[in-house]
Amino acid sequence: MPGYDYDLFVIGGGSGGVRAARVAASLGKRVGIAEEYRFGGTCVIRGCVPKKLYVYASQFPEHFADAAGYGWTVPEASFDWPTLVANKDREISRLEAIYKKNVEGAGGETFHSRAMIVDPHVVHLLDEDRTVTADQILIATGGRPAAHPALPGHEHCIFSNEAFDLKELPKAIMIEGGGYIAVEFANIFHGLGVDTTLVYRGKEILSRFDMDLRRTLHETMEKKGIKILCHSVTEQVRKRPDGRLEALLTSGKTLTVDQVMLAIGRIPNTENMGLEGTGIEMTAAGAIKVDDYSRTNIDNIWAIGDVTNRVQLTPVAIHEAMCFIETAFKGNPTAPDHETIATAVFSQPEIGTVGLSEDEAVKRFSDIEIYRASFRPMRHTLSGRDEKMLMKLVVDGTSRKVLGAHILGPDAGEMAQLLGIPLKAGLTKDDFDRTMAVHPTAAEELVTMYKPTYRVRDGQRV
């Protein structure tokens, strides 16, 4: 569009923003993108990527222990936290450079600056003290950990952002929350040798997942030595003269630890961006309100990813970016599909899941079949590790459609990705039954559970 500096200006260089900028630029559009911190965003810089690297790091003690059953003698191992942090930093710097280079390589222009919208077609780049104009503006500023100002002593607490770069590994940590981040970090810190306590306000961790997996993961984590206190909330955090922290819980218990980490959800980054002045509508939760096509109430301003608080997952932001490109630049209006999203929790053991949990399915369907297998995976036979794998299919007894697939155990995340395809395609249990198994694998269990373990009819287990 002549008259503007850019066809598209993107605010936020995370997974969603970078994808939109890169693809738009590769279509020949004049694209600018501003990122105030580091290209790559939460996922690359202080989320999924470093988290997974730390998960790998934390798994080695179990690998060393398991090796004995396979004939190996492993000398006493030691761990160096600064080495892990430094190696992680090197890897994310490499990825950060790739993200930036990909946009520039496609012809886009990158800015290291905070950006504010001053008018529906005007963006002010604060760090450059420069104003640019754009035909279309895309907001992809993501989110950040929810603060907890109501908690006395909250200033002593850290969030996942800081947890990655602690100067030293704490001897003891308390983590508040029972969601993805709390559970993943509890397993990471425990695996690295930290005395770890998870404090969760509800009755069982991971409230949005299948109850069978939640209970089994809880038991397995406790068996490893992670302390989990449900029905508990921190009332106060106090710093002792020796620098250690005391967390006072509603149960009356006091925990003495070196770090208290809060993982109580994430909130959209929408402040000080000029949104109010431009008249962009927000939801009650402070997210940018968008229609089915990620368009805000202002015709040429769009928003994708965590800032819209639809589903806070990296692949969702990327998918929304691709749909935005179709809609805004290819004349092919495409609404992102947020149904049946496969996801993983990188706990130890892992959770991989897609579709409806048993409880959700029972609420929506009158005749449910549950296929459930709990077994010791082959890799744990010689190691002697007392850990079960759990697989569960939730099937609509009437249409035979597989509504949900839930796995707890090694490589569950990898399996969830593949199970996402048949569930998205709406395949039936009969399709699963006529699929040949791959032997010997753990995943073969998914196509060899021929008889329902139980049924739930009109809410009653029969």
Residues carrying an active site annotation: 439
With tokens 């998870």, the residue in question is 198
CA-to-CA distance for 17 and 383, rounded, in angstroms? 45
**Strand intervals (E) in 240-365:** 245-249, 254-257, 259-262, 266-268, 301-303, 343-345, 351-355
CA-to-CA distance for 283 and 7, rounded, in angstroms? 27
Figure out which of the listed residues 174, 345, 362, 368 binds ligand NDP, where binding follows CB under 6 A. Answer: 345
Give the binding range for ligand NDP (CB under 6 A) out of 71-79, 115-123, 246-254, 263-271: 263-271
Name the residue among 294, 296, 328, 292 with its Cα closest to residue 8.
328
Q: Are 118 and 109 in contact (CB under 8 A)?
A: no
Figure out which of the listed residues 257, 264, 362, 391 binds ligand NDP, where binding follows CB under 6 A. Answer: 264
3-state secondary structure of 37: coil
- Residue with the shortest CB distance to ligand NDP: 179
> Under the criterion CB under 6 A, does residue 233 sit at the interface with ligand NDP?
yes
CA-to-CA distance for 306 and 210, rounded, in angstroms? 24
Q: Are 347 and 187 in contact (CB under 8 A)?
A: yes
Q: How far is the CB of 73 from ligand NDP (least distance, A)?
A: 35
Return the number of the residue (313 or 408) whose C-beta is nearest ligand NDP. 313
Return the number of the residue (184 or 396) whose C-beta is nearest ligand NDP. 184
Return the number of the residue (92 or 328) whose C-beta is nearest ligand NDP. 92
Return the number of the residue (156 or 455) whose C-beta is nearest ligand NDP. 156
With tokens 């077994």, the residue in question is 375
Return the number of the residue (51 or 124) whose C-beta is nearest ligand NDP. 51
Structure tokens at 170: 């704490």
Return the number of the residue (207 or 272) whose C-beta is nearest ligand NDP. 207
How many of the other CB atoms lie within 10 Å of CB of 119? 13
- Phi, psi (deg, nearest 5) at residue 198: -105, 130
**Identity of the amino acid at 273:** M
Q: How far is the CB of 179 from ligand NDP (least distance, A)?
A: 2
Question: Which stretches within 365-437 are classed as H helix?
Answer: 379-383, 412-424, 429-433
Give the angle 87-92-96 at the CA atoms, nearest 5°: 150
Give the binding range for ligand NDP (CB under 6 A) out of 264-272, 371-379, 385-393, 423-431: 264-272
> Under the criterion CB under 6 A, does residue 313 sit at the interface with ligand NDP?
yes
Q: How far is the CB of 387 from ligand NDP (least distance, A)?
A: 20
CA-to-CA distance for 432 and 446, rounded, in angstroms? 8
Question: Which stretches within 149-302 are classed as H helix?
Answer: 160-163, 180-191, 211-224, 275-278
In the stretch 98-137, what mask flags binding to ligand NDP with x, by CB under 6 A?
Answer: ----------------------------------------
- Can you state the angle between helices 15-26 and 314-329, rounded to 10 degrees? 30
Which residues ranging from 178 to 197 are in contact with ligand NDP (CB under 6 A)?
A: 178-182, 184
- Phi, psi (deg, nearest 5) at residue 312: -85, 75
Q: How far is the CB of 263 from ligand NDP (least distance, A)?
A: 5
Return the number of the residue (296 or 343) whose C-beta is nearest ligand NDP. 343
Q: How far is the CB of 299 from ligand NDP (least distance, A)?
A: 30
Give the binding range for ligand NDP (CB under 6 A) out of 82-90, 124-132, 341-349, 362-370: 341-349
> What is the b/e burial string over 89-111, where b = at least 16 CB atoms within 10 angstroms of the residue's CB?
eeebeebbeebbebbeebbbbbb
> Under the criterion CB under 6 A, does residue 266 sit at the interface with ligand NDP?
yes
With tokens 């810190």, the residue in question is 189
Q: How far is the CB of 411 from ligand NDP (least distance, A)?
A: 14
- Can you state the angle between helices 180-191 and 48-67, rounded to 10 degrees? 40
Return the number of the residue (23 or 217) whose C-beta is nearest ligand NDP. 217
> Under the criterion CB under 6 A, does residue 202 sit at the interface with ligand NDP?
yes
Figure out which of the listed residues 57, 249, 263, 419 binds ligand NDP, where binding follows CB under 6 A. Answer: 263
**Identity of the amino acid at 332:** N
Q: How far is the CB of 91 from ligand NDP (least distance, A)?
A: 18
Give the binding range for ligand NDP (CB under 6 A) out of 86-94, 173-181, 223-231, 451-459: 173-181
Figure out which of the listed residues 35, 176, 212, 358 binds ligand NDP, where binding follows CB under 6 A. Answer: 176
Q: How far is the CB of 113 from ligand NDP (least distance, A)?
A: 26
Binding residues with ligand NDP: total (CB under 6 A): 23
Q: How far is the CB of 151 from ligand NDP (least distance, A)?
A: 8
Q: Are 266 and 309 in contact (CB under 8 A)?
A: no
Return the number of the residue (207 or 453) whose C-beta is nearest ligand NDP. 207
Looking at residue 428, the DSSP 8-state letter turns out to be B
Figure out which of the listed residues 55, 344, 370, 419 binds ligand NDP, where binding follows CB under 6 A. Answer: 344
In the complex, the residues that contact ligand NDP under the rule CB under 6 A are 176-182, 184, 200-202, 207, 233, 263-266, 312-313, 343-346
